[in-house]
A and B are shown apart, each in its own frame.
Chain A
Amino acid sequence: MIARFARPLAAAAAALFLASLCAGTALAAPDARTLLKDSENRHRTKTQQYAGDLTVVNKDGKVRKKGWRSYREGYAGDAKNLIRFTDPPEVKGVGFLSLSRPGSDNPDQWLYLPSMKRERRIAPQDRYASFVGTDFNYEDMEEFDHEKYKVSLIGEETAEGVPCYVIAAIPNDKGTKSVYQKIILYLRKDILYLVREDLIRKGEKEPAKRMILSDLKNVEGHWVAGRMEMTDLKKGSKTTVNLKQITFNRPHPASRFTLQNLTREGGD
């Protein structure tokens, strides 16, 4: 999630530049790859951190709440992410580390459980599994890298009240370990910011999950969604993350994205 949305969340550093670029190319049919590259260039930041409030509501209306802090360094294919749960006390200190590996299909991911004082590697086979009981799975926690997908512009639509480019992204190789067969991206036309994703699992035709990014605001010159909502359309459950205390491009300590830090008592 965090990762998938890190890119749009990273906001557009060159918003004005891109806006003019878009205006200049308005007469030509936009190319999906170009749009995604443009979006990436526009919203790329070196680092990002925020505090998140996580709320999971199941179909019966039962609510579970958690708090975490999230740190990111790099972007897309070279991103490193660290999440540390802060609340409630029973889960405080639980950490999640995701490190992209250049040239690899999947990043390395670990979950750290302080009560057992040990990290557990998330195997590629577990990418479909729910990320700690949310509606995100471990694949959703990876940085979205459009280079690993065949992308095509399939239309333009108004989504979440704004005009959007609709782009279909299909994993490159048939043998890929992606949980999804196809992802439909809704890219807001004016700022090329992702506002919605429909996720279609392998062997299915209809989206199994939908993510909506809303409450867009400009923080330190970068567009960022203040709210992310993933809905499991089949189960009827919903996970919402509200982002607070968002900062960009603050340098991280060199050791932040390491296993040693993940497993350190009181580590970030």
Chain B
Amino acid sequence: MRFLLRTLSLSYARRHMGKTILTLLGVVVGVTTFSSIKTAQDALVKGIGSTVDRVAGKAHLQVTMEGGVPEEIQEKLRSLPGIRATSPVIEQIVVPEKAGLGSLMVVGIDLLGDREMRDYGFEGDDADLDDPLLFLAQPDSAIFSRDFARRAVLSTGKALSLKLPTGYKQVTARGVMSPKGFAEAFGGNLMVVDVYAAQDLFGRGRRFDRIDVRLQDGVTVAQGTATLQKALGPAYQVETPARRGEQMERLVANFTAGFNVSSAFALAIGIFLIFNAFNVAVNRRRRDIGTLRALGATPRQVQVLFLAEALILGIMGGVLGCLAGTAFSQGLLVSMGQSTEAVYGISGSGIVHLTPAIALQSILLGVGASLAGAWGPALAASRIPPTEAFAKGAFQARVQRRVAPRLAGAAALLAAAVYFALFSGLSGNQMLLAVLLLGGTGLILLLGPLSRALLVAAAPLLSRFFPSAGPLSSDALMANPRRSAGTIMAMTLSLTFVLGLGGYLGSTKGTIVRWMDDVLTCDLFVRASANFTRGDYLYPGALREELVQLPGVRAVESIRAIRPQFSGKRILINSVEIGQLLDRTKYEFAQGDARAMREGAPKGMCAVSENFYRNFHLGVGDQVELMTPGGLVKFPISAVLRDYSCDQGSILLDRPVFLKHWNDDRVDIYDVSVHPGVDPKAVREEIRAKLAGRYPALVSTRAEFKAEIGKAIDAFYAVMRITVFLALGVAFLGIVTSLLISVAERTRDIGILKALGAVPSQIAKSIVIEALVLALAGLLLALPAGNLFASFMEGPVAVAFTGWSMPHNYPWDVLVQLLIALPLVSALAAWVPARQAAKVKVTEAIEYE
């Protein structure tokens, strides 16, 4: 086998270096996509867990409460038996003004006693800050990790400007931490400030984000949890840091699940590229195969030879793809981190590491994809009888036409996919995997015969519209139907992905935009936090009265949002003056109506979102049991409405009801409506003047606010968009490969045509037409498939992961873009092969074998 590989395979690879590289590129692209996404995903999830773990230090337990833990709780905890130390913590992600430093995690701690909890590893062997009294006395004091300080060119006494809720603020470096343990949290982009200074900086009032608890030796975590839970009551969550990290990881699971689809598509398309390349290789080397068979090689040996080639290509492609993926993954991680920060308010570290597990998986996938792509052609090669192998054209003319069983298999698989999507009751990821596998295989089985049928149907049209070049293209496409079908399959898969995902993204955004039009109807939004999910700064409730008094203001609503755990998911509880809200909004109701909601609100009833109803099976007539600082409270449901403010489900409560049970009058956003005829921008200036120097104020008009939410949605889908472009790139690569092979295959034919009088432009035109036909055939087949995929994403997938069902809208915008882009891309892809074909010399071509 080694001899055959060296003499036959290596010699073929050398003679056809371009094709070999393109085949290798197919594996590389597929594996790169997988490994970059997987590496970034893993880094994101591990970063979140690791940051929680490192920041937690020696804490055994962490006490949290929705809205923050009141300061006085710390004293209560300190006096409990079994508690060795407690330490308050505030965490916040900020962005330095200086570009290129990345997000910075600010941890507010009480340095007076926090060494019981965390090891700071201060620089200079002083085992302390440069001047701890100065650190405490000056609220702008900060400590940085050494790595960050180096990148930001910071040393003790130097200032760094940060973008904070209250505007740009300078902090002064008063110490540097060695890069170990705690200082490595958030990838080392860490800044430590005094917890009480953090309260002021981030508007936490007299609350902490959590209190870390270290237990005395001999006290178990279970005992400690029981003691704390008993002393604090049900409104407080007492968890180990590990569990808290897991919850955060689960939170971003929905987000990362979307990338699995992208990975799967990229690999599938890569397999087709390999399939195509090997198919052609078999075709080109049939004489070699015939010789081998004539010399006594068994069919099995021939098959193993091709599979061995695939194995080598797979390993090479896997290694290269893995390395390229790691290089891309850093950028991907930054994008993912920005999305999770914008959407969930949490982010992991900023550093990716290629783990041995991912490297192994990538190489195995490369090998698997290569073998899968080469399996069919290798089998076909092994079945070539020696007599046929030496007869030119016999193999090309042979097309296996076992269409009926193939179509039947496709129908069965597609039916099974539909069943699993609609009725199986599988969990999100299982359902996604099952449907993609079954549906994808069904589609692939269906695409072969359909693409052949399309090419046959296109032949007369080509001859009619392009009398000289058309038949040449048609002949070229039909001469090797396997290759043409393979390219069309790759195109169809790419475009299905593009249309499906593009349709899903468009539908999601369209739905949310419509919802915003119905709900976000007030004129101005006054908020203190740029982040929509994480309240970096909260206003006092009393500010509403001041805003109402401003000239031009008609009404002000106070929005307070908390995100507690409910049945294992992090839901959203929104509180607002419901009567006022209903006066100006047009909610769509799935159950109940506005009147029921209005009447129920003051009685302590709540409204829930449709996805909450789907996720938890609680609707009108049921009660939601929520943990409040005073204990468990049951809220009857008055209505189920369409609301897209939280992907896990939301609950809407009247503000007085919330105040009564949560005893927290702080406000995230004030919704301000102005009198008719009053310019909102003038009122905005009044509000800014009123709040100046007192509170941070991001005052947006309705259009600005919607645009900002639109940006957040775009940020969420930014990475998915990248994968859409990647799919188009793979499609482009597919066409180039196919055409280059086609030109090489037909060198002799092209030479004969030229000898018979064909001019180079005619030859080149036929290549371009061939590319266009391949692309358009792929698009034609992708239209229904993409539509089906979009429906699957908008329906079963969205419901499984979020409980939302997006109404389906055909992605006409994407289609129009494709109709413009595809001919251009195809023509571009045909450029090199067309030039190559046009340059073929007649004498050399006729000698070409």
Contacts and interface: CB of A to CB of B under 8 A. Distances in A.
Interface of A: 58-60, 62, 64, 66, 85, 90-91, 94, 111, 113-116, 118, 120-126, 129-130, 132-133, 235, 237
Contacts of B78: 123-125
Contact of B138 (A90, A111, A120, A123): A90
Interface string B783-824: 000000000000000000000000000000000000000000
A114 B136 CA distance: 10
B126 A85 contact: no
Nearest to A66: B133
Given A120-B110, A125-B116, 12 more contacts: A58-B124, A59-B126, A60-B126, A85-B137, A94-B137, A111-B136, A113-B136, A116-B200, A123-B78, A125-B113, A129-B113, A132-B132
Contact of A133 (B128, B138, B196, B200): B128
Nearest to B133: A132
A66 B136 CA distance: 14
A91 B128 CA distance: 18
A203 to B, nearest CB: 13
B33 to A, nearest CB: 51
B125 A133 contact: no
Contacts of B153: none
A79 B136 CA distance: 26
Interface in B694-748: none
B250 interface: no
25 contacts: A59-B125, A60-B125, A62-B126, A66-B133, A85-B133, A91-B134, A91-B137, A94-B133, A111-B112, A111-B136, A114-B137, A115-B139, A116-B196, A118-B196, A120-B110, A120-B196, A122-B112, A122-B113, A123-B78, A123-B86, A123-B113, A124-B78, A125-B116, A130-B128, A132-B133
Nearest to B196: A116
A182 to B, nearest CB: 21
A87 to B, nearest CB: 11
Nearest to A85: B133
Nearest to A58: B126
B136 A132 contact: yes
Q: Which 9 residue pairs of A and B lie closest in terms of their CB atoms, listed nearest first?
A: A126-B113, A133-B132, A132-B133, A125-B85, A91-B137, A58-B126, A115-B139, A126-B112, A91-B133
Residue from B128, B132, B133 whose CB has the most chain A CB atoms within 10 Å: B133
B115 interface: yes
A190 B78 CA distance: 45
Nearest to B112: A126
B113 A133 contact: no
A126 B100 CA distance: 39
Interface in B100-143: 110, 112-113, 115-116, 124-129, 131-134, 136-139
B197 interface: yes
B545 interface: no
A111 B85 CA distance: 18
Contacts of B126: 58-60, 62, 235, 237
Nearest to B137: A91
Contacts of B46: none
A129 B124 contact: no
A125 B128 contact: no
Contacts of A64: 131
A125 B113 CA distance: 7
Contacts of B112: 111, 120, 122, 126, 129
Interface string B302-339: 00000000000000000000000000000000000000
- The winner among A62, A91, A123, A126 for most chain B CB atoms within 10 A is A123
Contacts of B835: none
A62 to B, nearest CB: 8
Interface string B183-198: 0000000000000110
Interface of B: 75, 78, 84-86, 110, 112-113, 115-116, 124-129, 131-134, 136-139, 196-197, 200
A125 B86 contact: yes
Contacts of B136: 94, 111, 113, 132
A113 B129 contact: no
B137 A129 contact: no
Given A58-B126, A235-B127, A116 B139 contact: yes
A123 B86 CA distance: 9
A91 B139 CA distance: 11
Given A120-B112, A125-B78, A133 B129 contact: yes
Contact of A90 (B86, B125, B129, B134): B134
A114 B196 CA distance: 12
A64 B127 CA distance: 15
Given A91-B137, A111-B136, A116-B139, A129 B115 contact: yes
Contact of A121 (B75, B85, B131, B134): B75
A114 B137 CA distance: 7
Contacts of B124: 58, 60
Most buried by A among B78, B84, B134: B134
B110 A116 contact: no
Contacts of B128: 130, 133
A120 B136 CA distance: 11
Nearest to A138: B112
B137 A90 contact: yes
Contacts of B116: 125-126
Contacts of B138: 90, 115
A43 to B, nearest CB: 30
Contacts of A85: 133, 137
Contacts of A115: 137-139
A236 B706 CA distance: 61
B695 to A, nearest CB: 18
Nearest to A114: B137
A263 B134 CA distance: 18
A124 B138 CA distance: 24
Contacts of A126: 112-113, 116
B211 to A, nearest CB: 12
Nearest to B135: A133
A250 B462 CA distance: 112
A58 B137 CA distance: 20
A59 B128 CA distance: 12
Contacts of B75: 121
A147 B134 CA distance: 36
Nearest to B214: A125
B537 to A, nearest CB: 17
A77 B138 CA distance: 34
Contacts of B137: 85, 90-91, 94, 113-115
A237 B126 CA distance: 8
Contacts of A125: 78, 84-86, 113, 116
A198 B739 CA distance: 88
A85 B129 CA distance: 19
Nearest to A236: B125
A111 to B, nearest CB: 7
B227 to A, nearest CB: 16
Contacts of A111: 112, 136
A235 B127 CA distance: 8
A185 to B, nearest CB: 27
Nearest to B200: A116
B304 to A, nearest CB: 69
Contacts of B200: 116
A117 B131 CA distance: 20
A74 to B, nearest CB: 25
A116 B197 contact: yes
A27 to B, nearest CB: 49
A140 to B, nearest CB: 15
Residue among B78, B132, B139 having the largest count of chain A Cβ atoms under 10 Å: B132
A262 to B, nearest CB: 14
Contacts of A130: 128, 132
Contacts of B86: 123, 125
Nearest to A132: B133
B216 to A, nearest CB: 11
A121 B196 CA distance: 12
A133 to B, nearest CB: 4
